[in-house]
Structure 1
Amino acid sequence: MTTDNNNASAPLRYSSFTHDPAGGNPAGVVLDAAALDDAAMLAIAAEVGYSETAFVTAADESARRFRVRYFSPLAEVAFCGHATVALAVALAERLGPGDLLLDTPAGEIPVATTVDAADGTARATLTSVPTHSRPATAEELDSALKALRWSREDLDPALPPHVAFGGVHHLVLPAGSRTRLADLDYDFDALTEVMHRHGWTTVHLFRRESPTLFHARDPFPVGGVVEDPATGAAAAAFGGYLRTLGLITAPTTLTIHQGEDMGRPSLLRIDVSPDTPHTRVTGQAVPIT
Structure 2
Amino acid sequence: MTSDDVPLTASETDILRYAAFATDPGGGNPAGVVLDASGLSAERMLAIAAEVGYSETAFLIPDAAAAAVAEGRAEAGYTVRYFSPLLEVPFCGHATVASAVAIADRTGPGRYVFATAAGEVAIEVDKGADGALRATLTSVEPHVEEVSEADVTEALALLGWSADELDAALPPRIAYAGARHLVLAAATRDRLARLDYDFDGLAAYMTARGLTTLQLVWRESEHVFHARDPFPVGGVVEDPATGAAAAAFGAYLRERGAVTAPATLTLHQGEDLGRPGVLGVELREGDTRVRVSGTAVAIP
TM-score tier by shorter-chain length is over 0.9
| 1:52-96 alpha-carbon deviations (Å, 9 max, x no partner) | 000012436974011100000000000000000000001111121
Structure 1 residue corresponding to 2:61, chosen from 57, 64, 67: 57
Q: Which residue of 1 aligns with 2:164?
A: 153
Distance in 2, Cα, partners of 1:148 & 1:74: 22
Match of residue 6 from structure 2: none
Q: What CA deviation, in whole Å up to 9, does each residue of 1:94-120 have, x standing for no partner?
A: 12111111101100000000123x553
- 1:29 equivalenced with 2:29 (yes/no): no
Q: Distance in 2 between matches of 1:248 and 1:206?
A: 15
Which blocks of at least 5 consecutive residues in structure 2 are unaligned? 1-9, 70-74
Partner of 2:127: 115
Structure 1 contact 248–274 (Cα < 8 Å) conserved: no
Q: What is the aligned partner in structure 2 of residue 3 from structure 1?
A: none
Matched residue, 2:184: 173
Please say if residues 8 and 32 of structure 1, whose CA atoms lie closer than 8 Å, have aligned partners that are also in contact: no
Letter in 2 for 1:108: E
Provide the residue aligned with 1:206 in structure 2. 217
Aligned partner of residue 244 in structure 2, secondary structure = helix
1:160-191 superposed Cα distances (whole Å, 9 cap, x missing partner):
10000010100000001000000000000010
Distance 2:180 2:196 in 1: 22
Segment of structure 1 superposing worse, 144-153 or 199-208: 144-153
Identity fraction in percent: 57
Contact kept? 2:254, 2:261, Cα under 8 Å: no
Q: Secondary structure at the match of 2:95?
A: helix
2:92 to 77, 80, 90: 80
Aligned to 1:93: 105
Q: Which amino acid aligns with 1:212?
A: H
Instruction: Tell me if structure 2 keeps the 8 A contact 1:248–1:273.
Output: no
2:22 partner SS: coil
- 5+ residue gaps, structure 1: 1-5
| Distance in 1 separating the partners of 2:142 and 2:151 | 20
Match of 2:146 among 119, 122, 135: 135
> Cα deviation per residue 1:24-71 (whole Å; 9 max; x = unaligned)?
000000011111001100000000000000001243697401110000
1:12 pairs, out of 3, 11, 16, with 16
For 2:270 and 2:263, the matched residues in 1 are separated by 23
Q: Secondary structure at the match of 2:40?
A: coil
For residues 231-282 of structure 1, the C-alpha deviation after alignment (integer angstroms, 9 at most, x for no partner) is: 0000000000001001232300000000001100010000013522210000
Structure 2 residue matching 1:204: 3-state secondary structure: strand
In the aligned structure 1, how far is the partner of 2:15 from the partner of 2:250? Answer: 31
Supply the distance in 2 between the matched residues of 1:121 and 1:196 (Cα, whole angstroms): 37
Q: Secondary structure at the match of 1:185?
A: coil
Q: CA RMSD in A?
A: 1.5
Letter in 1 for 2:103: L
Q: Choose from 146, 166, 173 the match for 1:162.
A: 173
What's the CA shift for 1:134?
2.1
Q: 2:42 aligns with which of 35, 38, 44?
A: 38
2:193 to 182, 186, 205: 182
